[in-house]
Amino acid sequence: MMNNTTLSKLFSAVHEALLGIDGSTIVFANPAADSLFGTSLTGTAAKDVLPRELLETTADSFVMATEIMGIEATVSVLREDGLTLLFIERMQAEGFLYPISRRIVSSLRGNAMGLKMAADHCFSRLEDGKQPKEQHISMLYHYYYRLLRTITQVDSAASLESGDILFSPISTDLVKLCSDITDTVSSLRSGSDASISFTCSESELTAVVDPERIEQLLLNLLSNSLKHTTAGDHITVSLRRTGESIILSVDDDGDGIPQDKLSRLFKMPLSEQDLTNPDNSGGLGLYISFSIARLHKGVLLIESREGEGTHVRVMLPIDNAPAPKFSTPGVAYHRSGISSVLTGLAEVLGSDCYGPKFED
């Protein structure tokens, strides 16, 4: 076991805020942590300043997006020999649209070119007096939904950042909502995709949530899992009640996330390498999911090991009743069915899932 002197020697020069917990007490806080929180937390009971969900999670390593002393932060947790180390970095959402603008423009340009290519094929067939091929019509619809997803992701991230997003929490049966979404996604999967299932030991779990936002969160998490799984892998969406929370989980046995990348999952793309990442969604999915969890006074936690899969937990209060805030007049939620799935998963579904026959 490392003592405080050893911890100080090892971590005082670390630029990230670092807290060390021995049992139930914060036994070390480096200068960066003192600066971040405006006070030294050394000697403080961990339960007085840290989220319950963080302290109760028993995994040896994980990353969590949460709030600590009023500061939204990413926390990377490592446990060994009875000592818990928390590497904490403030979430930097302000001005996120500037660093990802080139990435978004690239996505829009690529989808626009795809639309033109598919339209040219259809027009060429019409000029020859023939009907357009179904595959070209499907491509037109697919690129439309890809464009719509990019626009929706940017609009949602900007609205979440500014606090103007429509947020309408109502009493909602999460079992019905999540099972319906999972069933719709599963029905669209191709033979080259991972299989998807839903599980819950209870027939009904009711909580005060915004069902439209929970649907958006779940589709973002499923999209991420589908990007990192292949045929033969499995994705499980599950719900369970624990104490005063409902835990929504998305687990997969895909390729997993390398440990050196795990702590950067919630960051906005800032480097040229990040900007050219092939994820055309703009890298906003986890930022949006984290922000939706926070709207509900919940937390989002990710465990992953390379080659072993990824486990995402969204912990939502059962009796949450935040005051509604509307940027536009409220409208009762009616699940849009397949169209929301076609939009949310446009980056991972094939063109064969699109076309007039799939429209509501």
Summarised one tens digit per residue, pLDDT across range 124-175 is: 888 778 888 888 888 888 888 888 888 888 888 888 888 888 899 999 999 9
Q: What is the mean pLDDT of residues 201-206?
A: 94
- Read off the pLDDT of residues 333-344 as tens digits, 9 standing for 90 and up: 566 678 889 999
pLDDT for residue 172: 93
The answer to whether 206 and 172 have CB atoms below 8 angstroms apart is: yes
pLDDT for residue 102: 59
Which stretches of the chain are DSSP H helices?
4-11, 31-37, 46-49, 52-56, 97-127, 134-162, 174-188, 211-227, 259-262, 272-275, 285-295, 338-344
pLDDT at 15 exceeding the cut of 50: yes
pLDDT for residue 243: 83
129-147 burial: b if 16+ Cβ within 10 Å, else e? eeebeeebbbbbbbbbbbb
Query: What HEC string does 126-146 produce?
Result: HHCCCCCCHHHHHHHHHHHHH
Least confident segment among 37-51, 56-70, 203-217: 56-70
R_g of the chain computed on alpha carbons:
22
pLDDT at 256 exceeding the cut of 80: yes
CA distance 258 to 305: 6
| Residue 23: pLDDT band with limits 50, 70, 90 | confident
Residue whose C-alpha is closest to residue 298's, from 54, 110, 84 = 54
Measured between alpha carbons, how far apart are the two ends of the chain, in Å? 61
pLDDT for residue 330: 47
pLDDT at 46 exceeding the cut of 80: yes
Residue whose C-alpha is closest to residue 197's, from 185, 212, 213, 215 = 185
Secondary structure class of 249 (helix, strand, coil): strand
pLDDT for residue 334: 60
CA distance 313 to 247: 6
The CA distances from residue 268 to 23, 78, 99, 279, 283, in Å, are 34, 23, 8, 13, 7
Which secondary structure element, helix H or strand E, spans residue 27, and what is its range? strand 25-29
CB under 8 Å to 5, separation ≥6 — which residues? none
Q: How many residues does the chain have?
A: 360
User: Would you call 49 exposed, middle or buried from its count of C-beta atoms within 10 A (0-12, 13-18, 19+)?
Assistant: middle
Residue whose C-alpha is closest to residue 290's, from 342, 237, 203, 224 = 224
Task: Give whichever of 274-278, 320-324, 351-355 has the largest mean pLDDT.
Answer: 351-355
pLDDT for residue 10: 67
The CA distances from residue 48 to 68, 136, 175, in Å, are 10, 59, 33
Residue whose C-alpha is closest to residue 117's, from 131, 128, 133, 130 = 133
pLDDT for residue 332: 53
pTM: 0.83
How many Cβ atoms are within 10 Å of 358's Cβ, its own excluded? 16
The answer to whether 151 and 280 have CB atoms below 8 angstroms apart is: no
In sequence order, what DSSP letters do the residues of 38-96 get, joined into one string?
TS--TT-BHHHHS-HHHHH---SEEEEEEEETTEEEEEEEEEETTEEEEEEEE---TTT
Query: Average pLDDT of the chain?
Result: 82
pLDDT at 108 exceeding the cut of 70: yes
